[in-house]
Amino acid sequence: MNRIVERFAQLKRRGQKGVVVYIGAGDPNLEATRRLALAFDQSGVDVLELGVPFSDPLADGLVNQLAAQRGLESGTTPPKVLDTVAAIRGESQIPIVLYIYFNLLHRRGLERFIADAKRAGVDGLLILDLPPEESDNYEDLMRAAELCPIYLVAPTTPEERIGLIVKRGGGFIYYVSREGVTGMQTQVSDTIGLMTAKIRAHTSLPIAVGFGISNPEQAKTAAASADAVVVGSAVVNRIAEMGRAPEMVARVADFVRTLVNGVKAEHPA
């Protein structure tokens, strides 16, 4: 079974909510990415999202844009990200999603990239700029490889389009709780409950809520209406602050553990 599907099934059996953490691959370097992944696994993270650096990350706010830039400057490429995933797989079975822009797959060749991702140990792809209406060939290749095509639903998505999107997705549905780009916020959106209910009317897939969740309290609040929460910019910002300091991995993992503990304590098994 796909690791993402298996993890959410485990969470459901336990009556627990999940924690998804995003980081930019190669920030500050790929060895740090490998070490962070292993530390997050030990900290109880349920799914790791690795942002593949791209020169025009249009869905990302400043924090994640800068992480992508640092990743590019450290020499990170899609094949090297897959090599890092393979290295992680030598020590961990944490579910891994690549957060990626379509041009990177197109440049490599869609069929070849998906086959390489499967071989490396990737479990799902979240392509930020591929509309579901244009994804038939992509979805066929993903299904053949038993990888999850993860799609986004936004607060502005009309209900009839929600139905179209979610029936094509796999693993989980990523609900973007705010309009605009990624980034830290001072409070969570007050429409999460309403929108997750709308999404659930169309699918039995788990719903993960992200964009703007920055601390344990916000994570608890978002988890009340969803199956999982996604925290990205707040983690990436701490990586940026620590840089190449020897204690960076441990310090960032400590912060991530507060998120995990908050969500799991609020929604225990």
User: Catalytic site residue 49?
Assistant: yes
Q: Are 198 and 234 in contact (CB under 8 A)?
A: no
Q: Which of 27, 41, 46, 49 is catalytic?
A: 49
User: Rounded to an integer, what distance in angstroms lies between the CA atom of residue 75 and that of residue 73?
Assistant: 5
Q: Give, to the nearest 10 degrees, the angle between helix 192-200 and helix 159-166.
A: 60
Q: Are 182 and 211 in contact (CB under 8 A)?
A: yes
Three-state SS for 1?
A: coil
Q: Which of 27, 60, 116, 227 is catalytic?
A: 60
User: Catalytic site residue 217?
Assistant: no
DSSP run (H or E) holding 51: strand 47-51
How do 124-127 and 96-100 pair as beta strands?
parallel
| Separation in Å, CA 7 to CA 2, 200, 219 | 9, 19, 19
The residues annotated with a catalytic role in the active site are 49, 60
